[in-house]
Chain A
Amino acid sequence: MRDFEYEAPSTLASAIEQIVQGNGSVKALAGGTDLIDHIRTGRLRPNLVVDVKKIPELNVLEVGSEGLRLGAAVSCTRIYENAEICEKYSALTDACHIIGGIQVQNRASVGGNLCNSGPAADSIPALIALDATCVIAGPQGSREIAVEDFCTAPGRNVLESGEILVELNMPARPAHSGSHYLRFIPRNEMDIAVVGVGASVTLDDSGQNFVSARIGIGAVAPTPLFAKEASEVLFGLPVNEESINKAVEAARAIATPITDMRGTIEFRKHITGVLTKRALEKAIERARQ
């Protein structure tokens, strides 16, 4: 592997200082499951690697009345070992359970998955469904951005030189809410999504009508997408096949996939519809529990 310097700061301020001094040739290391491989293959060539796992703000994992605070360096395993998060933010833990194998889940962070900004990243459609906000810190202070606006192109995102993703915030879950993430892959595990869909719904007290919904779709465009129309078309509608089909059609309509070794355009568009339906059905089932 190419030569680089390594720092493991224990405060956010010193991390930002080191990243600024690194002058563009610096990469943040959390779980390393993408980064170390990318350095080894020469795809990334940092002169400095800043290990962010010792920074308290990036290790926060709190679920309370305000919602979920998820530090950018928290591993998938830590997330799904929290029973309250599994219950309230199921789409997120569904995704964490299927990112790589156990060895990867023990290291990989959701923040890293987001910053890697792959179009097929499993956690991003789930974060979109759960309405996550990204908290970013940099030399000019901190700023917030909706997760669906974070990725800008395959492998690219809104982080400016010197900036670091600190945490992801997800709002508290109203009563009668449920969520789910699922993907299509040709095997049972250890694969990259051909299509991935995250859905979250909130139903009324009777459990028979949609109050609101959010759908995120992955691997069918250069970045994961918030399926805004597919989500909003459900507001106020009765929970039935006809309503779900409206969301399915709207989700399919925004999918602009490519043909590659994992699937054709036609297949991916079809699967987007199938998975949107299944994600909504499971989210509804959970909302009624």
Chain B
Amino acid sequence: MAKKRVVSTKINGRPVEFLCEPRQTLLEVLRESLDLIGTKEGCSNGNCGACTVLIEGQPVDSCLVLAVEAEGASIETIEGVAKGSELHPLQKAFLEEAALQCGICTPGLIMSAKALLAKNPDPTEEEIRFALAGNLCRCTGYDKIVRAVQSAAKCCADTTAN
């Protein structure tokens, strides 16, 4: 069996070192070694986006990243989105707009939406739909998700204006 590697990363702002085998995906290590189970496993082949995390601020499917590739990387998962007990505007908007039912897709959608708003604080509906195309939801029909992202964008803009 291939030798285990020590990988040094920053996860949600904190330095984290872990041991992994080359064959382990980042998703596997997050969930099984680091107990960060907010990131979900859906299809395991890059279609559903349930496992989306941010690496250097960019959304990626953590099922399609080897954990060893994360050496030196800065990773953000759903666990790092709220500030203590204060939910992020996107999390509040998802609750207020009822943008989730079973919830499996939600962490991935929040991560993708967060990266979108960081790049484009005032996206059109079409831009939102394209940015979230890699995140599948089989419950909501997407409409409420799109409205939640619009509402969070508006809320962030209002906060900045104040």
Contact = CB atoms under 8 A, between A and B. Distances in A.
Interface of A: 1-6, 8, 29, 31-33, 36-37, 39-41, 49, 51, 53, 77, 100-104, 106-107, 188-190
Interface stretch (B41-49, B74-82, B98-106, B153-161): B41-49
B60 interface: yes
B125 to A, nearest CB: 13
Given A6-B68, A33-B64, A107-B65, A190 B134 contact: yes
Given A3-B1, A32-B69, A102 B131 contact: yes
B8 to A, nearest CB: 14
Listed residue (B46, B47, B132) with the most chain A CB atoms within 10 angstroms of its CB = B46
A1 B25 contact: yes
A107 B64 contact: yes
Interface residues of B, number: 37
B58 interface: yes
Contacts of A107: 60-61, 64-65
B22 A102 contact: no
A2 B23 contact: yes
Nearest to A51: B69
A197 B90 CA distance: 39
A49 B22 contact: yes
B77 to A, nearest CB: 14
A31 B64 CA distance: 8
A29 B2 CA distance: 17
B68 A100 contact: no
B89 interface: no
B107 interface: no
A248 to B, nearest CB: 29
Interface string B29-64: 000000000000000111101001001001111011
A32 B65 contact: yes
A102 B59 contact: yes
A250 B21 CA distance: 52
A189 B130 contact: yes
B87 interface: no
B18 to A, nearest CB: 15
B112 A103 contact: yes
Given A33-B46, A104-B64, 17 more contacts: A1-B24, A2-B23, A4-B2, A6-B5, A29-B69, A32-B66, A33-B64, A36-B63, A36-B66, A51-B68, A53-B69, A101-B132, A102-B59, A102-B130, A103-B49, A104-B46, A106-B60
B99 to A, nearest CB: 18
Given A6-B2, A102-B59, A189-B133, A29 B66 contact: yes
Contacts of B55: 106
Contacts of A77: 58
6 A-B pairs with least C-beta separation:
A101-B134, A6-B22, A189-B133, A106-B58, A1-B23, A101-B133
B52 A103 contact: yes
B115 interface: yes
Nearest to B23: A1
Contacts of A100: 46, 134
B63 to A, nearest CB: 8
